[in-house]
Structure 1
C-alpha cells in the first residue's frame, strides 16, 4: 500500500500541495483529476522524490521516502512523466530496454530481449521495434515510453497524462493494457488524466485536486456529478450512466446569448 500522510509542498510563497492524505491499494487504477495548475503533476513528482516536501510522509509498505533512501525508493517505480521528447539516436527496442537499465550489460540476454518485444507486441507496436525513435510521431513516442515503464517491472506505476498525444484507438489500447497489467501484476497505479469519460471508464478511484488540496477520493460513480464538474471547471455538464452503471459526462455548450454576455 502506498500511503501519503499530511503532505505539504511549497515553492517560496506558493503552496503546491496542502495537507494531502490518501492510501492507494495494490491492484487498483487511481486517476488524479483537476483543473490546470492545481498540483496534479506536482503530486506525482513529489511521490517520485523529484520535489522536496515541506512536511508530511510518503510510505510504501515499510519504506518511507527520504533523501537517504531516494535511490532505492525509485527502483520500485515505473514513472512516465509528462512531455518527454525522444531526441536520441536509438531504436524503439533499445529505448524499451532502458527500462531495465540496472540489469543491462554489453550483451543483452535473449530473455530480456524477448520480454521487451513481448511488451511491444501486447500494445500493437512490435513492427516499430527497429525504427529510429526520432522518426516516430508524438503518439508513438508516448506508447514507447509506456512500454519502457512496464519493462521496469515496477511495483508502483505512475503516468502523467499518458494518452494526451494518442488517437482514440491507442488511448483505449494503452488504458486497457494498463488495467490488465495492474490487475495481473498487482501494481499500485496512479495517473493523471484530463478526459473525464476515460477516467470514469478505467479508474477504480478518483483523486480530485483543487488548488493543491485533495477535496475528494472515491469511485467515479460516487464522485462524478454535475456539481463537482462545475466547481472544478466552471462548465455546465450532464452526468449520465451507461448500461453498466458507468458515468459519462456530456458538457453543454453555452447558448449564443450566453456567449455574448
Structure 2
C-alpha cells in the first residue's frame, strides 16, 4: 500500500523553507499577493497551495518542485494535484457560503432600514396641552403631528370666576419670531385644522414633527374688561 504525503508534511516543508530563508509569513504573503492567514493555513496543514501558487513558491525560494515530493514520486505529485484541486473546490464552496451570508446580512439591514424608515415617517406624535391655576383652567388641548397632516385641537378654556373672554391668541416663537397659530374670538377654540398645507403656513411643520421638540405654546387671553393674561401651556407627549 502506497502512503501518500499528508497536508502536515507539505506544511512542514513549506515552513522549513521559509525559516531556512529567514522569511516571515507576512513577507512571503506579500510576495505571493496573498494573506498571511493563507500562509499560516498551509504551514499548519489546514490547506495547501494550488498548482500555480506552488510554482511561484518554488521560484521565490529557487528550489525545484521535486523538493516537495520524495524521489520524484509521480504518484505523490498526482496525489498532491488532486488534493490541491479538492482543496480549491472546498475553498470555492466556503467563499460562496461567505458571499451568501454577506448577502443575507445586507438583505436584513435593508429590510430593517426600510421598516425603521416606514415606522419613523408614519409615526404620529401626540402632545397634550393644558394649564391649571386657581383662576384659569385650560385643558383637553391636543397637537397631533404626522408626515401627512397636523391636527390642532384647541384647549377648553374657562375662568373660575366666570370672566368672559373677548379675544384669544395662541402662538409660539421660532428664532425670536412670533408665529401665530390661532387668533380671534372665543369661538375659534371650536375650530380644528386638518389640512397640512394651511397649517404649514402658520405652524413650523418641520420643527414640530421632531420627537420631543415641541416648542413652547403661548396662550394670550384678553377679557371683556381688556385685561390681558399670557400663559405658557404645559405640553406632554402621550
Shorter-chain TM range is under 0.3
Which is richer in helix?
Answer: 2
- What is the TM-score normalised by the length of structure 1? 0.19
Q: Which entry has the higher C-alpha Rg, 1 or 2?
A: 2
- What is the TM-score normalised by the length of structure 2? 0.20
